[in-house]
Structure 1
Amino acid sequence: MSDTVESRPNGTVVYPAADHARDENSLPALWEHSRLQCGRLLLRWARDPVTLIQALIYPALTLVMFRIVLGDSITAATGQSSIFGTVPMIVLVGAMFGSVVSAVGLRAERDSGLLGRFYTLPIHRSAGLVGRLMAETIRVFVTSLVIVAAGMVMGFRFTQGLGASVLLFVVPLIFGIGFAMMVTVLATVPGRIPLVELVSIVCTMLMFFNSGFVPVMAYPTWLQPIVANQPMSCAIDTMRALAIGGPVAEPFVKTLAWSLGAVAVFLVPAIRGYRRAARDG
């Protein structure tokens, strides 16, 4: 848009026509509006101490505590440094708890009417949800970088080359998108369901029953198949193999299946819930 704004003698302000007018339902509009929504969310999260604590500080402190309390005992029992299971686990924990804070913010925007005001603007109807998922992806990536950097101070290493190292950071992004889709659905459900409490229970169960916390063989026999195949264990096994070697294909395919399954199940409810929250806000 031109920067020239005319002011007539009668006080009327005349704005110039837009130089790059786009149909609000076009793909270029979706990209531009989603990018703006993504930037808005990232800026808000960066200025919010609660989000920073849940997404960065809490996972980093949890990594330190696990290393101090369980590190030597697990290493002695398995003959392999526990840091290669703990770091991937905490990366995923950071992705999950960060999504919870994001969902609380989404609910607050719904209750305050902000989503409703966005809904009345000439912007792409999908931009809010797409921009939120873009911001979630960036948040998970930054969290992963911070946790892995902290883990490297404690002994975590990449031994399988550049390609495997890059793919290791892709795994939590895949996992995080599936989890964020589920949490978005819960955040847009009408009423006042205990969002934080419900999701925290799920996160805690996953965190204490996975192959990164202790080896699968340490769990009761009847529980081992469940622990070995739950989504966090599949992602942890993939990241561990990408760091120090081992089978990658099977756990990676399982991680994809879990995440794509979550997207398939929750995508339509998330779209409808987000639209309903914006329309009714």
Structure 2
Amino acid sequence: MMTLFAARTAPEPENSPRALVRHTAIQTERLLVRWARNPITLLETLLIPCLLLLMLDIVVGGQIQRFTGEDALYGSVPMVAIVGALSGAVAGGVLLGRERDSGLLARFWVLPVHRASGLAARILAEGCRIFLGTIAVVLVGFVLGFRFHQGPVAALVFLVVPVVFGLAFATIVTAVAVYTAKATLVEGITIITSLMMFFSTGFVPLVAFPTWIQPVVRNQPMSVAVDAMRGLADSGPVARPLTLTLIWCAGAVVLFAIPAAIGFRRASRR
């Protein structure tokens, strides 16, 4: 009887699957609460994307509609949702660097928690943040006139595309953040996201770009994601751009997932 009682009350091993689930949930909640209390993260995730969508609709929306005969919102809403996902990932990378420099990651490393829960929690928290940001952008788009015309399944896939794209990009940001001590280098990634936005089919139609750069614009990661989301919401091809989006995302994960995991482990053991 004493043996059975001891077995029932013994603490679960910190490296067990059950501990991984529980510790990941706790750390995911910690990250979401911290991001919610951080003004920069809120700006990058919610306010700036919504304001950007309003600005694009006011400044260039009417001109694009006169030029193409199509509502510009079906390119602007997907593009802004993806830009919000990327901007939030950069803000999360900056906070990750601060946690490393302050020793918080090292404190978690010496606690009796599952070693994989820290990175798993960041992936889960990023997914939640991107999904909520996408919902916010779509709601603003609905106020402006955006609608889903391809059914509920296509609408659900539409909401998932920025999550997949953003998580792949967050893998790159995490790899950079854990290997560099300079936050400015992580923040400098926003230059790349800005170039991707301005040279994408979500900003202006493909025919508006010079002929020599159209192949680059048409096949760059943000353009194919925007084209896939446009087809899922309104009209246009879906199979090709969605396939290219998944290929771009898979390539980013394959190249940067292992360096990000190794770097996160090293940063936690400092």
For the aligned pair, the TM-score class normalised by the smaller chain equals over 0.9
* Equivalent residue, structure 1, for 2:38: 48
* Equivalent residue, structure 2, for 1:10: none
Residue aligned with 2:182, SS = coil
Residue aligned with 2:167, SS = helix
**Cα distance, 1:29 vs. partner?**
1.6
* Equivalent residue, structure 2, for 1:23: 13
Residue aligned with 1:260, SS = helix
**Cα distance, 1:221 vs. partner?**
1.1
Amino acid at match of 2:252: A
Query: TM-score with structure 2 length normalisation?
Result: 0.95
CA distance in 2 between partners of 1:20 and 1:173 (Å): 39
Residues 22-51 of structure 1, C-alpha deviation per residue, up to 9 Å, x if partnerless?
Answer: 222222222211111111000111111221
Residues 100-139 of structure 1, C-alpha deviation per residue, up to 9 Å, x if partnerless?
Answer: 1111110010000000000001111111111001000000
* Equivalent residue, structure 2, for 1:153: 143
**Cα distance, 1:72 vs. partner?**
0.7
* Equivalent residue, structure 2, for 1:238: 228
CA distance in 1 between partners of 2:37 and 2:10 (Å): 32
CA distance in 1 between partners of 2:13 and 2:200 (Å): 48
Matched, 1:210 2:208: no
* Equivalent residue, structure 2, for 1:101: 91
CA distance in 2 between partners of 1:29 and 1:135 (Å): 18
**Cα distance, 1:246 vs. partner?**
2.1
Matched, 1:257 2:247: yes
Q: Contact 2:97–2:181 (CA<8 Å) still a contact in 1?
A: no
Amino acid at match of 1:47: R
Comparing 191-200 with 17-26, which one deviates more in the overlay?
17-26
Residues 145-174 of structure 1, C-alpha deviation per residue, up to 9 Å, x if partnerless?
Answer: 000000011110001111111111010111
**Cα distance, 1:18 vs. partner?**
8.3
Paired residues for 1:1-281 under 5 Å? 19=9, 21-192=11-182, 194-280=184-270
Cα pair distance change 1:121/1:151, threshold 3 Å: same
CA distance in 2 between partners of 1:95 and 1:145 (Å): 11
Amino acid at match of 2:154: A
CA distance in 1 between partners of 2:244 and 2:124 (Å): 23
Cα pair distance change 1:18/1:34, threshold 3 Å: farther
How much is the aligned-residue C-alpha RMSD, in angstroms? 1.5
CA distance in 1 between partners of 2:107 and 2:153 (Å): 44
Q: Contact 2:155–2:233 (CA<8 Å) still a contact in 1?
A: yes
CA distance in 2 between partners of 1:30 and 1:138 (Å): 18
**Number of matched pairs:** 265
Structure with max Cα Rg: 1
Cα pair distance change 1:47/1:244, threshold 3 Å: same
CA distance in 1 between partners of 2:39 and 2:182 (Å): 24
Q: Contact 2:150–2:232 (CA<8 Å) still a contact in 1?
A: yes
**Cα distance, 1:19 vs. partner?**
4.3
CA distance in 1 between partners of 2:126 and 2:9 (Å): 32
Residues 212-234 of structure 1, C-alpha deviation per residue, up to 9 Å, x if partnerless?
Answer: 00011111111111111111111
* Equivalent residue, structure 2, for 1:13: none
- Aligned-residue identity in percent: 48
Runs (5+) with no aligned partner, structure 1: 1-15
CA distance in 2 between partners of 1:234 and 1:61 (Å): 23
Residue aligned with 1:188, SS = helix
